[in-house]
Structure formats: structure tokens, C-alpha cells
Structure 1
Amino acid sequence: MIEKIAEQLVNLTVKQVNELATLLKKEYGIEAPTSTKVENVLPQKEKASEKEEKSIFNIILKSSGNSKLSVVKLVKEITGKGLKESKDLVDNVPSVLKESVNKKEAEDFKNKFEEIGAEVELK
């Protein structure tokens, strides 16, 4: 019985929810709180996924620092692109250097860039 009620509540339209809220207020004196935090409304599944650690990253070059030539060479090595394409990526920051990289590899790349003075972000 409770499962059926829960299923019916979940499947209500916005109009029906408003009608229910009005009825509960008039008949039973039950009012919804005046402010609701978004995190309280998220389903449990979404809350759990937010807590899980991210394992796939995109490597984004934010700044080449003082050693632009070294950064271009490293971008060329990591991406497999030609010299001109690598230079274009370095010249047009922020730019995505590599997508869908595992955590360990992304951190290794980030460390290599930071060693030569570049600024990299993992998203």
C-alpha cells in the first residue's frame, strides 16, 4: 500500500503537486518550508554519484608560462599532433589538450607541464 502511494506521489504533475500542497495546508495545516535547498531535493542516486571520486579527466592548458617552446614540444609529444597544431593549441589558451584521460595519466601530464612552468587544469 505504501509503495503504491509513493509511486502515485512521484508521478504527480506540477499542477497536481500544487493542488496537493493547497489541500494539505487548508485541511490539515501542513505547510511546505519557505526555502528548500536543492541538495535536499536531489535523488539519493545523484547524491551518491557526487561523492564518488572522478576518474576520467580532460587536460586543459591554461597558460604556457615563460617557456613557450618547451610547452609546444610537450604538447606535440603528448597529443601526437604536428608542430603547427601544437603551437596553435599553446597560442590559443585555454585549450583542451587531451580528453578522457585516466586519473594517473592526467596527473603525470599535469606534473610534466608544471615542471616547465605551464599551468594546466584537470576537469
Structure 2
Amino acid sequence: MSDEVKQEEGAVEAPVEAAPEAAPVAAPAAAAEAEVEVPAKFKAIVEEIEKMAVLELSELVKVFEKKFGVSAAAVAVAGPAAAGGGEEAKSAFDAELTDAGANKIAVIKAVKEALGLGLKEAKDLVDAAPSMLKTGMKKEDAEELSKKITEAGGKVTLK
């Protein structure tokens, strides 16, 4: 099994992100299989991922994040940022939580309220610091978010 995990870590990144959407509901999973053609070399890996529970998939994503230094949130946001060009970067700001600080609970609450997340999602985001909180915000909104998190004890960098 460790060989399969190594193969999953090294070879498959995009199907892991698609699998959490398909795993909880059987009907969309069948429709997704009909639309997506899986190469033979990834078929066994994709089948294993489809069998995983949501918690196992979350754990696998964390392994990918640590092993390859990527963030699931950053991957989803990278496309529009690259296509935007230089002018948009001046008017759109990204808020990145660089450090949760000593009062982690207050930071989790602030992230939860500011971004409208559930408690687990907010905790996972804070635990994964440095992590991207929100992208493509107006300067005023980014500064307000930064202020809320900073008041709670976290450190936010605006990019």
C-alpha cells in the first residue's frame, strides 16, 4: 500500500481535487466517470481515491500540501491570477495568513466570521498557515480583513 501512496503523491494531483466533489454522491460520480477519460496508468489510483471517505481525502490533500509545498486553495486560484495580467494585480489584492500567532482560537474565530466558513474549514485554514485567505479583493476589503485577523492575533500579508 505504501507504494500506491507514493504513486498517488507523485503522479496524481488534479483527480484528488475532483474526487472530494464526486465521492459523497453516487449519481454525479457516475456522470463524472462518463465525461472524464482516465488514462490506464492512473485508473487504479483513481479507483482507490473514489473508495476513500471524505476524511481520508482531506488527509491525502494535506499530505500533498506538505510533500509538494502546494495549497489546494492556491491551486484553484492560480488560474485567474495568471490570466489577469499586471494591471489587475494593482487593483486586486490577496490576503495571506502568514502566522496564526499565540491566540489561535481567536484567529480561527476571526477567519470563520470574516470568510463565512464553517469551524472545521476555518481551523484547517489557520492550521495550514501560511495559507491564502482570500484573493481578488479590493484594497479596502483586504485591509479590513487584515485588520480583523491582526486584532485577533494573526499576521496577514497583502499581496
Equivalent residue runs for 1:6-85 within 5 Å: 54-85=90-121
Extract structure 1 runs of 4+ deviating beyond 4 A: 49-53
- The question of whether the paired residues in 1 share the 8 Å contact of 2:96 and 2:132 is answered with yes
Aligned equivalent of 2:124? 88
Give the length in aligned residue pairs: 75
What RMSD over aligned residues (CA atoms) do the two structures have, in Å? 2.1
Aligned equivalent of 2:145? 109
- Give % identity: 47
TM-score w.r.t. length of structure 1: 0.55
Deviations 1:12-62 (A, max 9, x none): xxxxxxxxxxxxxxxxxxxxxxxxxxxxxxxxxxxxx97998221111000
In 2, Cα distance between the equivalents of 1:88 and 1:51? 32
Deviations 1:54-94 (A, max 9, x none): 22111100001111011101111121111001000000011
Which is greater in Rg? 1
> Does 84-93 or 50-59 show the bigger shift?
50-59
Letter in 1 for 2:124: D
Letter in 2 for 1:103: K
SS of the aligned residue for 1:66 comes to coil
Shift of 1:116: 2.0
- The question of whether the paired residues in 1 share the 8 Å contact of 2:106 and 2:153 is answered with no
In 2, Cα distance between the equivalents of 1:95 and 1:52? 21
Structure 1: runs of 5+ lacking an equivalent? 1-48
The structure that is helix-richer by fraction is: 2
Greater length-normalized contact order (CA 8 Å, ≥ 6 residues apart)? 1
The structure that is strand-richer by fraction is: 1
1:120 to 2:156 alignment: yes
Letter in 2 for 1:79: L
In 2, Cα distance between the equivalents of 1:50 and 1:101? 15
In 2, Cα distance between the equivalents of 1:79 and 1:51? 26
